[in-house]
Structure 1
Amino acid sequence: MEVNEKFKELLCSVKEKKPLVHHITNYVTVNDCANIVLAVGGSPVMADDINEVEDMVSIASSLVINIGTLNSRTIEAMVKAGKRANKLGIPVVLDPVGVGATPYRKETALRLIKEIKFAVIRGNLAEIKILCGMNAASKGVDSEETLTDDAKEVAKVCAKNLNTVVAITGVNDYVSDGNKVMVLKNGTKMLTTVTGTGCMTTSLVGTYCGVTKDYLLAAAAGILTMSMSGEKAYEKLTEAEGSGNFRVRLIDEVFKLKGEDFMRRGSINEVC
C-alpha cells in the first residue's frame, strides 16, 4: 500500500474512533490545541491536576505533554501521567517547547525523557538538537538554526539515541524512527504568524497516535494535516485578510480535510 493511502486510512480511523487525547499542555495554546483535535475528529481533554491525571490517562487513547508554560506542579503531574500511560501501553507524545531557553526547561525535558518512554518527540531543529546533547541556537521558544538537509541526519541520529520517533518541523519536516526518514515538503510561511501552530501539530500527532501503533506514520500524518491545511487556508485568504483570518481558516481546513487530500497534495519522500 502506498504511503498516501495509509495516511488516508489513518484519517478515516480518527474520524471513526474519535480517540480521547489527554493533554498536559501550556495555557497559551490550550484552547487551540483542543479545537484542532476536535476539528480532525478526535476528542480532547485538558487535565493537569496531579490528583486526577492517572485516572484520566487510563481512559485515554494517547497523552500529549507540552512544556510550554512550566511550573513545578504540572511537572510532577506530567511524570505521574506519563508513567501510568507507559504501564498501560498508551502512547505519549512530547513537545519540548523552548527547551534551550533556560536550564530549568532543559532539566525538566531531560527528566521527562529519562522517566517516560515517548512514542514521538516533536520539536524544531534547535529543540531536538538540545535534547540530544548537540549545540544549537535558539531564541526563547524559536529556533535560530537554519533547516538544511543536515536535519535529516539529526532526526535519524536522535531517534536512535532517544529510542523514539523524532519529528523535526520547519520549512521542510523530517520524521525518523532511527532507520527510515520521511521528508515532508508541504506548508506555508503563514503558519509562523500564528501562535501555537507547533503545539497544535503535536496535538494532531497525538490524535493519530491514538489510532495506530505505527508512530512514524502517525507523526507524519499529524504534520501533514497541519501543513496541507495551512496551504489551503493561505490560498483562500483575500488581500484584506491577515493572520487572524488565517487562524480561523486553518482550523476550518483541518475540519474539512479528506483522505484524498493526502493523495492529491501531500509531498512526501521516504529515505531509507
Structure 2
Amino acid sequence: MNSSHNLQPFPGSAAAHWLTQLRTTSPLVHCLTNQVVQNFTANVLLALGSSPAMVVARQEAGDFSAIASGLLVNVGTLNETQAEAMLLAVESANRANVPWVLDPVAVGGLSYRTDFAHQLLAMKPAAIRGNASEIMALAGLSSAGRGVDSTDDSLAALPAAIELANNTGAIVAVTGAIDYVTDGQTGYALPFGDPLMTRVVGTGCALSAVVAAFLSLDKEKTLELVASACMVMAFCGGVAAHESAGSGSFVPRFLDLLYQLQPEHLMGKTL
C-alpha cells in the first residue's frame, strides 16, 4: 500500500454499530496514562458509556490489566516507577489476551521515552495512536515534533504509519486535521475533526483510551474498531468546535455531545 492508494472513507454505519456495542457492553478500560489528562480521559470514557480505571501502582497494575477489557499505555509523563507498572500491565494483558494501545507521547525528541516506546513496541500493541510527528519518530523517520505538539501534517506521516503497521502488526492511527487509520495494507481517512481540538489538553490522549475501549469489542475487526473510535471522537469534536467560542467552552460541549451521541448521528442525522 502506498500513501495514496487503498484509503477509503469510513462508513458511518460501521461506527454506529460499534458505538451501540460499546454502550451495551460498557468495557472496563485500564488507563496507564499521563498525569495531565487522567480526569478528562475518565470523563470521555464515561460520557461514551465505558468504564475507566486508573490503577497505577506496580503492585496492582498487572493484576488489574488481566481483568480489564482493554489497556491504554500513554508515556506522556513517564517516570521509572510508571514504566515498571506499564511493563507489568502489558505482560499481564498479553497473557490474558486483553488488547492494549500504545500512545507514544512526545517520542522522538527525548531518548528515555523513545527507547521505552520501542521496548513496548516489541511487546505487540494491538494499536498505536499518535500525532504525525510521534508516528514518524516511532517509525524511525525524521520529524518536526516539539514535545506533544506536531508540526508535521497527518498525511505526511501516512507512509510512516503504513510502515509501522507492517513492521509491528498493529493498527496505526495518525491523527490531525484528517485522521488516517491503517493496517499496512488498507485504511481509512476520517476528515471530521477541527483544529480547536489541538488547543485543548487531552483530546488525543483520551482518543487513545477510547480506541482501547472499542478494541475490546471484537478481536477480528481491529481496523474497523480503531476507525470507529476515531470517527466518534472527531465527529463530536468537530460539532463542539463549531458550537464553541473557544477552548474553554469546547470541553463541556464536547463531553455533552459524546454523551448525547446516537448511532443515527454518525449516519447523517444532525446531532
Unpaired runs of at least 5, structure 1: 267-272
1:10 aligns with 2:18: yes
Does the aligned pair in 1 maintain the 2:87–2:120 contact within 8 Å? yes
Q: Give the equivalent residue in structure 2 for 1:21.
A: 29
Cα distance 1:13–1:105, how it changes in 2: closer, same or farther (>3 A)?
Answer: same
Structure 2 counterpart of 1:259, which letter?
P
Offset, 1:41: 0.7
1:89 aligns with 2:92: no
SS of the residue corresponding to residue 16 of structure 1 reads helix
Structure 1 counterpart of 2:187, which letter?
V
Match of 1:37 among 14, 38, 45: 45
Structure 1 counterpart of 2:137, which letter?
I
Offset, 1:107: 0.7
Residues 98-150 of structure 1: CA distance to partner in whole angstroms, max 9, x if unpaired? 01231111011111112x210100001111111111111111111111333x4
Unpaired runs of at least 5, structure 2: 1-9
Q: Distance in 1 between matches of 2:117 and 2:79?
A: 13
SS of the residue corresponding to residue 139 of structure 1 reads coil
Does the aligned pair in 2 maintain the 1:152–1:181 contact within 8 Å? no
Offset, 1:265: 7.1
Q: Distance in 1 between matches of 2:76 and 2:55?
A: 15
Offset, 1:58: 1.6
1:118 aligns with 2:125: yes
Offset, 1:6: 2.0
Residues 219-260 of structure 1: CA distance to partner in whole angstroms, max 9, x if unpaired? 1111111111012212323xxx32111111111111111111
1:220 aligns with 2:227: yes
RMSD after superposition: 1.5
Match of 1:197 among 194, 199, 203: 203
| TM-score scaled by length of structure 1 | 0.92
| TM-score scaled by length of structure 2 | 0.92
Q: Give the equivalent residue in structure 1 for 2:3.
A: none
Between the two proteins, the alignment pairs up a number of residues equal to 260
SS of the residue corresponding to residue 138 of structure 1 reads coil
Report matched runs for 1:57-206 at 5 Å.
57-114=65-122, 116-148=123-155, 150-206=156-212
% identical aligned pairs: 38
Structure 1 counterpart of 2:115, which letter?
E
Residues 131-179 of structure 1: CA distance to partner in whole angstroms, max 9, x if unpaired? 111111111111111333x433332222101221000000111100111
Q: Distance in 1 between matches of 2:151 and 2:44?
A: 27
Structure 1 counterpart of 2:83, which letter?
I
Does the aligned pair in 2 maintain the 1:122–1:169 contact within 8 Å? yes
